[in-house]
Amino acid sequence: MTLKSVTIVIPIYNERDNIYVLKNAIHKIFAGLHYKYNILYVDDGSSDGTPGILAKVSQFDDRVEYVSLSRNFGHQAALKAGLDMADGDCVISMDGDMQHPASVLPLLLKQWEEGYDIVNTVRLEDKKLSYFKRKSSRLFYKLINHLSEFEIRAGSADFRLVSRKALDVICSLNEHDPFFRGLVSWIGFSQTHVVYQADERSFGSSKYSFKKMVQLAVRGITSFSIRPLYVAIYPGILISLMSSLYIPYALYSYFAGEAQPGWTSLIVTVSFFSGLQLMLLGIIGMYLGKVTNEVKKRPVYIIKESSLTKIANFI
């Protein structure tokens, strides 16, 4: 009987101390499972010596491969690089900071064996996180679900299993600015989820700053919905109404003879339309920028080196 194959894709950035720990944890889990498997690390331009460690690990462990990108392209680009080169019957993506526990892998595989093409994960809320972190996370999912045309469960992450059939579709999309939580929901297929409790970091600190969280939210919203173009109208109108409070003063100055000819009409017009125009132009500009990046057709990532024996020009 031919064993099914599994590829575990792990994008990492400055996680040198977690490489061995995570690799050993995965080996321990698969020792009790009947699958062929390999681990594919994707180094996203690390500056802490990660590529050298990956080269050494892959040399002595034939189940470990690595790809090193030429610079830091971002988590989603690194994830795409791994998915493009994964060759398993199914692919499991997970972070390299040990917060996605290897103990969940059998649960994902069990759901796959039951016929699901995509098995997502939902993280239980960690009470140890700061109030701001928990609140901003909830706000992220509420905002993206309200503005987008699909739903992402709160607590979702890029920790999931994808079948070969679904993965081929995802890789064929080849978007310049991919947002995989949205793409996975958008393509459909049979999907389910499992819940898990995030583990503590073994080493290092989180690389996801508040700025990166905001950038991820903007990417998700603008990649899958044009609703912000409509929503922009409402705050624009509100700003215009608030600025119109200046109109009574302008009229008073006019009738009191204190205004120069033409001043009143100019002030009223500028006050009313400036807020609306600036809001709309900003959001339209954001969408135009995304279109410009797509038209350029630049590679999503560039490979500097790899342990894989054969690499196509993936972009």
197 and 54 housed in the same domain: yes
85 and 179 housed in the same domain: yes
Flag whether 157 is in a domain.
yes
User: Quick check: 78 and 45 in contact, CB under 8 A?
Assistant: no
Flag whether 101 is in a domain.
yes
Backbone angles phi, psi at 141, to 5 degrees: -70, -35
User: Quick check: 66 and 46 in contact, CB under 8 A?
Assistant: no
Where do we find the tokens 């119109």? 244
Inform me whether the pLDDT recorded for 72 exceeds 90.
Answer: no
The Cα–Cα gap between 97 and 99 comes to 6
39 and 143 housed in the same domain: yes
- Least confident span in 12-21, 66-75, 277-286: 277-286
Flag whether 212 is in a domain.
no
User: Quick check: 189 and 166 in contact, CB under 8 A?
Assistant: yes
Beta bridge partners of 303: 69
184 and 245 housed in the same domain: no
Q: Which domain holds residue 233?
A: 227-296
Flag whether 221 is in a domain.
no
User: Quick check: 117 and 191 in contact, CB under 8 A?
Assistant: yes
The Cα–Cα gap between 206 and 138 comes to 18
Q: 314 or 248: whose pLDDT is higher?
A: 248
Number of domains in the chain: 2
For Cα atoms 56, 60, 63, give the angle at the middle one, nearest 5 degrees. Answer: 105
Q: Containing H/E element for 186?
A: helix 180-187
Q: Which pLDDT does position 313 carry in this prediction? A: 42
Inform me whether the pLDDT recorded for 315 exceeds 60.
Answer: no
Per-residue exposure over 202-232, b if at least 16 CB sit within 10 Å of its own CB, e if not: eebeeeeeeeeeeebbbbbbbbbbeebeebb
Flag whether 217 is in a domain.
no
Where do we find the tokens 């993936």? 314
- Least confident span in 7-11, 40-44, 159-163, 308-312: 308-312
Q: What is the pLDDT of residues 247-266, one digit of tens each?
A: 676 666 666 665 556 555 66
177 and 287 housed in the same domain: no
Find the CATH number of the domain harbouring 150: 3.90.550.10
The Cα–Cα gap between 99 and 259 comes to 66
Inform me whether the pLDDT recorded for 19 exceeds 80.
Answer: yes
Flag whether 197 is in a domain.
yes
Residue 48 Cα to chain centre, angstroms: 23
Flag whether 18 is in a domain.
yes
User: Quick check: 56 and 130 in contact, CB under 8 A?
Assistant: no
pTM exceeds cut of 0.85:
no
User: Quick check: 178 and 76 in contact, CB under 8 A?
Assistant: yes
Using DSSP, state whether 39 is helix, strand or coil.
Answer: strand
314 pLDDT band, cuts 50/70/90, is: very low
302 and 275 housed in the same domain: no
Flag whether 245 is in a domain.
yes
Query: Which distant-in-sequence residues (6+ apart) come within 8 Å of 144 by Cβ?
Result: 152, 217, 220, 221
56 and 187 housed in the same domain: yes
149 and 285 housed in the same domain: no
First to last CA, the chain: 36
96 and 34 housed in the same domain: yes
237 and 133 housed in the same domain: no
Q: What is the pLDDT of residues 132-184, one digit of tens each?
A: 566 666 666 666 666 666 666 666 778 899 999 999 998 888 777 777 887 88
The Cα–Cα gap between 85 and 63 comes to 15
Inform me whether the pLDDT recorded for 312 exceeds 60.
Answer: no
- For 115-130, what is the mean pLDDT? 79
195 and 91 housed in the same domain: yes
